[in-house]
Amino acid sequence: MNTPNDLGTSGIGPIVSSSQLADGAMPAMSEMEFALIVASNAFSRWMVRCMDAAGLSGLAHLEVQVLHSANHRDREKTLGDLCTMLNIEDTHLVTYAIKKLVGLGLVTTGKRGKEKTVLITARGREACRQYKAVREALLISSVKSMGVEEDDLSRIAGILRALSGQYDQAARGAASL
């Protein structure tokens, strides 16, 4: 836990999502949750604005995520693959995103047996390429200038993936109550 000297202001304490949640067995988890909330909202806003700057306006953050996931490794994905990759259980959200991306000519759909498939188009690949260029210029250069080490980012990413599993397990437990 931070001391008043760590914070520069006496008595403020850690920055948490909710003081009643921080008043328990693991106060740092509330700090992490607040960081996740703020980071998630900032990341969602960034994806939309980065895609706008890349020349493709009007996409929601989930549509940007689905587009990048469809482009990943340049191979056909099923609806189930996309939902699993993005940890989304409401398939209708991804289905809607796919319909919008199809309408814009960024992906095409097909069938593999009974499963719907999605494949990136040349226009979709170009949108992802432009997004990457904007990302490199605005985000990556800024993060590098902060002196953040790639090994540290990889370690944090691993911790976040592990925590997501804990949240999934806790959600299953909550659903059974």
CA distances from 76 to 13, 71, 85, 117, 157 (A): 49, 9, 13, 6, 26
| Average pLDDT of span 134-149 | 96
On whether both 122 and 99 belong to a single domain, the answer is yes
Instruction: Say yes or no to pLDDT of 2 above 70.
Output: no
Q: Is residue 18 part of a domain?
A: no
| pLDDT for the residue numbered 9 | 56
On whether both 115 and 161 belong to a single domain, the answer is no
d(CA 21, CA 27): 7
Instruction: Say yes or no to pLDDT of 156 above 80.
Output: yes
Summarised one tens digit per residue, pLDDT across range 11-70 is 777 888 888 888 889 989 999 999 999 999 999 999 999 999 999 999 999 999 999 999
Q: Is residue 168 part of a domain?
A: yes
d(CA 80, CA 35): 29
| pLDDT for the residue numbered 3 | 47
* Strand, helix or coil for residue 60: coil
Compute and round to an integer the Cα radius of gyration of the chain.
Answer: 20
CB 133 within 8 A of CB 54: yes
| pLDDT for the residue numbered 10 | 58
Question: Quick one: what percent of the chain has pLDDT higher than 70?
Answer: 94
| Number of folded domains that form the chain | 2
Q: Facing residues of 116 across strands?
A: 111
On whether both 59 and 141 belong to a single domain, the answer is yes
| Average pLDDT of span 166-177 | 97
The backbone torsions φ and ψ at residue 62, rounded to the nearest 5 degrees and listed phi first, read -65, -35
d(CA 86, CA 82): 6
On whether both 65 and 121 belong to a single domain, the answer is yes
As a whole number, the mean pLDDT across the chain is 93
Q: Of 5-19, 53-67, 82-96, 112-126, which gets the smallest average pLDDT?
A: 5-19
Question: Quick one: what percent of the chain has pLDDT higher than 90?
Answer: 85
**Which CATH number covers residue 78?**
1.10.10.10
Range of the domain at 168: 149-177
CB 95 within 8 A of CB 108: no
Q: Is residue 166 part of a domain?
A: yes
* Strand, helix or coil for residue 23: coil
On whether both 86 and 105 belong to a single domain, the answer is yes
**Model pTM score:** 0.89
Any residues with CB less than 8 A from the CB of 155 and at least 6 apart, and which? none
d(CA 60, CA 99): 13
On whether both 76 and 110 belong to a single domain, the answer is yes
pLDDT band at 4 (very low <50, low <70, confident <90, very high): very low
